[in-house]
Amino acid sequence: MYTNRRYIISSAVVLLVLIFIVRLFYLQVVDNDYKAWADSNAFLKKTIYPSRGIMYDRNGKLLVYNQPAYDVMFIMREVQPFDTLDFCNILGITKDMFIKRMADVKNRRLNPGYSSYVPQVFMNQVSSRECGVLQEKLYKFPGFYIQNRTIREYEYPYAAHVLGTIGEVNRKDIENDNYYVQGDNSGRSGIEQSYEKVLRGVKGVEILLRDAHGRIKGRYEEGKFDVAPVSGKNLTLSIDMELQELGERLMQNKRGSIVMIEPSTGEILCMVSSPSYDPGMLSGRQRGKNHKLLEKNQDKPLLNRAIMGTYPPGSTFKPTQALTFLQEGVITTETQYTCAHGYTFRGGKPACHGHASPLNVVYALATSCNSFFCWGLHDMIDSRKRYASVQEGYEIWKNYLVSMGYGYKLDVDLPGEKRGFIPNSKYYDKYYSGRWNSSTIISIAIGQGEILATPLQICNLAATIANRGYFVAPHVVKEIQDTPLDSIYTDKRYTTVDKKYYEIVAEGMRNAVLGGTCRRAAIPGIEVCGKTGTAENPHGKDHSAFIGFAPYHDPKVAVCVYVENGGFGATYGVPIGKLMMEKYLLGEIPESDKLLEETMANAVVSPNILSLPNREL
Partner 1 sequence: MVVAGWFSICGASYEFDNVGLFDIAGRPGSQLMWMGLSVGIIFVILMLESDFFDVFAYLIYAVVILLLIATIFLAPNIKGSHSWLVLGPIRLQPAEFAKFATALAVAKLMNIYGFKLTVPKNFLIVLVLIFLPMVCILLQKETGSALVYLAFFLMLYREGMSGYILLAGVCAVVFFVTEMKYSEVIVGITSMGEFIVSNIILAITMVLVYLERKDNKAAFIMLIGIATAYVAGYITSLFIPVDFALIAEGLVLLSVLYLIYLSARNWVWHYILIGFFALASLAFLFSVDYVFNNVLEPHQQIRIKVSLGLEDDPSGAGYNVNQSKIAIGSGGLTGKGFLNGTQTKLKYVPEQDTDFIFCTVGEEQGFVGATAVLILFGIFIIRLIMLAERQGNTFRRVYGYSVASIFFFHLAINVGMVTGLTPVIGIPLPFFSYGGSSLWGFTILLFIFLRLDASRNDR
Residues that bind partner 1 (CB under 8 A): 1-3, 5-6, 9-10, 12-14, 16-17, 19-21, 23-25, 27-29, 31, 33-35, 37-39, 41-43, 77, 116, 209-213, 217
The Cα 454–Cα 457 span in angstroms is 5
The Cα 538–Cα 171 span in angstroms is 41
If you write DSSP's letter for every residue of 535-570 in order, what string do you get?
A: EEETTEEEEEEEEEEESSSS--EEEEEEETT--STT
Q: What is the nearest approach in angstroms of partner 1 to the Cβ of residue 77?
A: 6
Is 287 exposed, middle or buried, given 0-12, 13-18 or 19+ CB atoms closer than 10 A? Answer: buried
CB 203 within 8 A of CB 47: yes
The Cα 329–Cα 386 span in angstroms is 10
CB 155 within 8 A of CB 65: yes
Alpha helices in 566-616, H assignment, sequence order: 573-586, 594-602
Q: Which of 104/221 has CB closer to partner 1?
A: 221
Alpha helices in 355-498, H assignment, sequence order: 361-367, 370-381, 390-403, 425-431, 455-466
Query: What three-state secondary structure class fits 497?
Result: coil
Beta bridge partners of 282: none
**Nearest in space to 543 (alpha carbons), one of 513, 571, 519, 575:** 571
Q: What is the nearest approach in angstroms of partner 1 to the Cβ of residue 21?
A: 5
The Cα 145–Cα 353 span in angstroms is 73
Q: What is the nearest approach in angstroms of partner 1 to the Cβ of residue 120?
A: 15
Task: Tell me the backbone φ, ψ of residue 315, rounded to 5 degrees.
Answer: -70, -15
Q: Which of 29/356 has CB closer to partner 1?
A: 29
Is 12 exposed, middle or buried, given 0-12, 13-18 or 19+ CB atoms closer than 10 A? Answer: exposed
Q: Which of 42/303 has CB closer to partner 1?
A: 42
Q: What is the nearest approach in angstroms of partner 1 to the Cβ of residue 174?
A: 24
Q: What is the nearest approach in angstroms of partner 1 to the Cβ of residue 118?
A: 13
CB 247 within 8 A of CB 580: yes
Q: Which of 33/482 has CB closer to partner 1?
A: 33
Q: What is the nearest approach in angstroms of partner 1 to the Cβ of residue 12?
A: 8
Q: What is the nearest approach in angstroms of partner 1 to the Cβ of residue 206?
A: 16
Q: What is the nearest approach in angstroms of partner 1 to the Cβ of residue 156?
A: 50
Q: Which of 37/431 has CB closer to partner 1?
A: 37
CB 237 within 8 A of CB 262: no
Q: What is the nearest approach in angstroms of partner 1 to the Cβ of residue 99?
A: 21
Residue type (1 letter), 398:
K
If you write DSSP's letter for every residue of 247-273 in order, what string do you get?
A: HHHHTTTS-EEEEEEETTTTEEEEEEE
Q: What is the nearest approach in angstroms of partner 1 to the Cβ of residue 18?
A: 9
The Cα 425–Cα 603 span in angstroms is 42
Q: What is the nearest approach in angstroms of partner 1 to the Cβ of residue 205?
A: 17
Question: Quick count: other Cβ atoms within 10 Å of Cβ 148?
Answer: 12
